[in-house]
Structure 1
Amino acid sequence: MENKITPAKNAMSFGVTFGIILVLEFVLMYVLNIDPSENAWAGVVMNILNYLILPFALIYIAANKFKNELNDGFLSLSQALKTGVSITVIAALIYGVFYIIFDMIFPEFKDELLEKIQRVTLKQNPQLTAEQLQMSMKFVKIFMNPYIAAPFTVVMYAVIGLIHSLIVGVILKKDKPVFE
């Protein structure tokens, strides 16, 4: 029996779920005015959640579902990679589109964030000259541009998905017998 649902199609709902979670986190942080630079725990929790726990858990669940429910108990490493990278890229695309729209609706957000970053930079490095500070803020502005940040986010999450998928693939891998 030929499988009609591909690993990428199986991953679609998990990627959408992850993307919505990323958007909701961003909105909550903005609405509640939680600043990760001032509340170190918030930044640490978000990073652990967004880069380690959520991607790994969603990739594991999606790959396991594909293996057990859609592929007769078999999962190749390439299927695990397709599943994981699809999940993280879909999530990053959703987040990137949201960030572009958010920037259009609230253009003052970038200015507020830039001021916070400048304060934190000066607090951590009081010996910075005005020229050094200006140069570092120039680079921050470049990466805050939504048309730079969104593609960068997609690439970053694709790499994260690749790494987690390799780990999940090694854990769940079960190849079909050659002579069946």
Structure 2
Amino acid sequence: MENQDNSKRKGVMLNYGLLLAFFTIIVSVINYAFGNAYEPHWSINVISLIAMVVAIFLGIKEYKKQNGSFLSLGQGLKVGVGIALISAIISAIYIYVFAKFIEPDFVDNIIEIQRQKFLENPKMAEEMIDTIGENTRQYFFAYTIGSILIFSIFLGFVVSLIVSLAMQKKEDQY
């Protein structure tokens, strides 16, 4: 029974995680096509957040349906965080491919945008700005991918907790 439960859970996590990642990548490609890859409009973040909430909600709902309309808090959390994690891993891979191969000057352009913003602050020394730029160049991928994973897991946990609490229905013990 537990093995069948794991199989259902993994299937739902994979399906909805892939859908969320696909949607996120499509939004990024559209953003890039319109020339907003470096400074996206705030609405892109809102759209991505809504997509995550919808994907986790639908994934937990599907798992509950496959589980005979029963859902424990733990099951819902596993499904929701799993969806967020799968999506985050695929999105991180996409960002790596994008910044390394599709737009190879991406990191340098980010550093230049940072530099221009820092130069507007008269209190920042030129050496400090250069150091920040070098650190960005050196740690961009580790920082970006780590941030994506941590933020997605945290947000996935919060959304999953809320959705699971609202949808939980335990089996009768009798």
Taking structure 2 as the reference length, the TM-score comes to: 0.85
**Aligned 1:164-175 pairs, distance under 5 A:** 164-175=159-170
Distance 2:138 2:152 in 1: 19
Deviation at 1:115, TM superposition (A): 1.0
Aligned counterparts of 2:169 and 2:163: Cα–Cα separation in 1? 12
Structure 2, unmatched stretches of 5+, are: none
| Residue type at the aligned position of 1:33 | G
- Contact 1:14 1:58 (C-alpha < 8 Å) held by counterparts: yes
| AA of the residue aligned to 2:47 | L
- Checking the alignment, whether the CA contact within 8 Å between 2:38 and 2:110 is kept in structure 1 is no
- Residue 15 of structure 1 deviates from its aligned partner by 0.7
Q: For residue 65 of structure 1, what is the aligned residue in structure 2?
A: 62
Q: Does 1:84 align with 2:86?
A: no
Q: Check 1:35–1:149 CA distance in 2 against 1; reply closer, same or farther (3 A cut).
A: closer
TM-score, reference length from structure 1: 0.83
Equivalent residues, number:
171
Aligned sequence identity (%) = 23
CA contact (8 A) 1:100 1:147 kept: no
Distance 2:104 2:96 in 1: 10
Look up the SS of the partner of 2:70 in the other structure. Answer: coil
- C-alpha displacement at 1:8, in angstroms? 2.9
Any idea what the Cα deviations from partners look like across 1:153-173, whole Å, max 9, x if unmatched? 222211111111111111111
Please tell me the residue identity of whatever aligns with 1:150: I
78-87 or 99-108: bigger deviation: 99-108
